[in-house]
Amino acid sequence: MTQAGKKPHGNKKYYHVLIDINRGELFDKYIREQLKLKPTSWIRDIVYKFLQDNIDKEEYNKALKKDEDNWNQAIQNRLQGRALSKILNTIRKKQNKNERL
């Protein structure tokens, strides 16, 4: 799904938006200082709110459910990866200890 030369972003759709420097600095300052949010988080929330208000409710809920399932699967994969890494590290330590003896 990614274009050649583009870095994948996992289960996320990537948009690159350029904003003129002076208005961009005003935006960044306002969001960070007044709302205490990261600008990208604020933009994401606005996009989700727009979709919720303008897309068919059933269609939106299907997409939301798929996104939640993707997130839960990513968490499971991360936990399994950590558990496997821990097991492998334990095995390596035992092998290194035995090699020294």
DSSP string for 7-74: PP-TT---------HHHHHHHHHHHHHHS-S-HHHHHHHHHHHHHHHHS-HHHHHHHHHHHHHHHHHH
Model-level pTM greater than 0.95?
no
pLDDT of residue 51: 98
Residues of the chain with pLDDT under 70: 1-8, 101
pLDDT of residue 83: 93
pLDDT of residue 94: 83
The answer to whether the Cα torsion of 50, 55, 58, 64 is positive or negative is: negative
Structure tokens at 91: 């095995």
